[in-house]
Chains A and B, each alone.
Chain A
Amino acid sequence: MRIAQEEIFGPVLSILTVSSLKEAIWAANNSKYGLSSAIYTGNVGNAFKAIEKIDAGITYVNAPTIGAEVHLPFGGVKGTGNGFREAGADAVREFSEVKAVYIDYSGRLQKAQIDSE
């Protein structure tokens, strides 16, 4: 159903019912998006199963899907993004290039892969 699949960006909540955790996780993952997610449970095993199996960039346990803190990475999987994360230490990487530097102080030509044997 489109109402349960497409982002509306408003105060609309689709309610689905399930009969097991397995079904719940399947339903949670049945989406083209994968940003935030949450599970409310008193069972630590259920919580860890959800953490492990939900396809999302963020999973909350016994807390709502909103409430990101700035020192943790923020972003999602699937249609939510292209692999970058904002905030956290990844934030600086988002806006940096990495350079590899080699400094040869042997004073002679050394050939990688060839002279290393």
Chain B
Amino acid sequence: MVQEYKLFIEGKFSDSSTGEAFEDINPTTLESLATVQVAGIGDVDRAVEAAEAGFLIWSEIPAPRRAEILLKAARILRERKEELAVLMTKEMGKVLPETRGDVQEAIDITYYAAGEGRRLFGETTTSELKEKFCMTMLRPIGVVALITPWNFPIAIPAWKIMPALIAGNAIVFKPASDTPLLALKLVEILVEAGLPPQVINVVTGPGGTVGKAVVQHPRIRAISFTGSLDTGKWIMEECAKTMKRVSLELGGKNPVIVMDDADIELALEGVLWGAFGTTGQRCTATSRLILHEKIKEEFIKRLLAKAKALRIGDGLLPETDIGPVINKAQLEKIERYVRIGKEEGAALLLGETDWTPAFLAISSSPRYLRMSGLT
């Protein structure tokens, strides 16, 4: 019997109004890790109300005192790093060394944000008039909403949560539906560290309903979103209607240029890690290799050999280099783009499907490599 997770509102786990729940699937085993409740519009309202109450408390606490709570959270994260990394590999699929790195990134940003608690500097400057003093100061925004993706289940939430908290804001947090457990663990750790109840509230469920309710909510003052370009555009349009601040971290098609004077082995290692680390599921993943023609043949030959040697499998096993793709929709998207590439005349140099080596082919440029795991 898998555990059912509730929404986290007003400092406690509470039942959603919808009575619905979704499965949190381990992409490696396809087993259900947990069921997680789907928030309704009324639950988003409750979360915003709680956050408004939390804001009144939190924004009154001096920033260096807020920092102490963050420091404690960082220490708890560090103590629980291995446990969180193992859970993350089960929930998201990437290999253990990478999930450890993900937790480490959350630890790093938490320490960093805590340090900023004594550096919320304004500026002073001279006035154009006599006996007049001019300065700037920072103030929190109020209730902010954070919408995060599944590829860095704890690092990206921490990148948003910790700076928002140190600045004095209260939070409504909508994590990705593929990785709600790590999001809830992070919030539990903050509460354990002494964050006043109501300062952070978690609403889980689909972007199309819960995310939409958050984005359109008139009393949320800012949205920070990491995800796709299309969703980002939609959010920006919606935020115009309620005059929310919106910060967007969207897609990438990140190039690596390899010149003919490069250290080839170094470049090969970098391209391999950049393109296939995290199964390519990073917004900064290397997705375009721009090769100098003088080294093209040798580079591609050696890259293929290295790529073929990568072991796809269960991220908990030490011999695994690459975990699975997060879900069926993503796998289908990859397959679709491979078809598009072929139709456009690109040559498929390497492909693996469903754990079985499929085919290896080389032809004219531009070309692409592909590896896909199973979902």
Contacts and interface: CB of A to CB of B under 8 A. Distances in A.
Interface of A: 1-19, 21, 24-25, 27-28, 31-43, 46, 50, 54, 56, 58, 62-71, 74-76, 79-82, 84, 86-87, 89, 91-107, 110, 112-113, 115-116
A18 B290 CA distance: 7
B131 A79 contact: no
Given A6-B253, A38-B286, A96-B139, A84 B280 contact: no
Given A17-B291, A70-B109, A75-B249, A106 B129 contact: yes
Interface in B329-358: 330-331, 333-334, 337-338, 340-341, 344-346, 349
B128 A102 contact: no
Contact of A16 (B138, B279, B349, B366): B366
A101 B369 contact: no
A39 to B, nearest CB: 4
Contact of B254 (A2, A65, A87): A65
Interface residues of B, number: 107
B282 A17 contact: no
A104 B273 CA distance: 59
Contacts of B369: 11-13, 15
A28 B290 contact: yes
Given A39-B256, A86-B159, A87-B109, A14 B288 contact: yes
Contact of B261 (A46, A79, A91, A102): A46
B273 to A, nearest CB: 5
Given A37-B254, A84-B248, A86-B249, A96 B289 contact: no
Interface stretch (B12-20, B28-36, B161-169): B161-169
B254 A36 contact: yes
B285 A66 contact: yes
A14 B366 contact: yes
A18 B292 contact: yes
A94 B141 CA distance: 9
Given A11-B280, A95-B144, A101-B137, A81 B248 contact: yes
Closest 8 CB pairs of A and B: A35-B252, A84-B247, A64-B274, A11-B280, A3-B341, A106-B131, A91-B163, A40-B262
Given A38-B256, A65-B286, A11 B372 contact: yes
A1 B290 CA distance: 14
Contacts of A74: 159, 249
5 contacts: A28-B288, A66-B273, A91-B112, A106-B129, A107-B131
Nearest to B156: A86
Contacts of A11: 275-276, 279-280, 322, 325, 334, 369-373
B261 A99 contact: no
B344 A2 contact: yes
Contact of A41 (B129, B166, B261, B296): B261
Interface of B is mostly: mixed
Given A24-B259, A92-B163, A106 B253 contact: no
Given A11-B280, A98-B137, 7 more contacts: A5-B253, A12-B280, A18-B290, A37-B255, A39-B259, A62-B263, A112-B129
Given A13-B287, A97-B141, A37 B229 contact: no
Given A11-B370, A64-B273, A100 B134 contact: yes
A56 B138 CA distance: 29
Interface string B239-267: 00000001111111111111101110011
B87 interface: no
A64 B354 CA distance: 27
Contacts of A76: 249-250, 252
A43 B292 CA distance: 14
B341 A99 contact: no
A80 to B, nearest CB: 5
A110 B130 contact: yes
Nearest to B283: A35
A16 B289 contact: yes
Contacts of B119: 89
B39 to A, nearest CB: 23
A10 B279 contact: yes
Given A17-B291, A27-B290, A101 B252 contact: no
Nearest to A1: B344
B346 A3 contact: yes
Contacts of A38: 254-257, 270, 274, 286
B23 interface: no
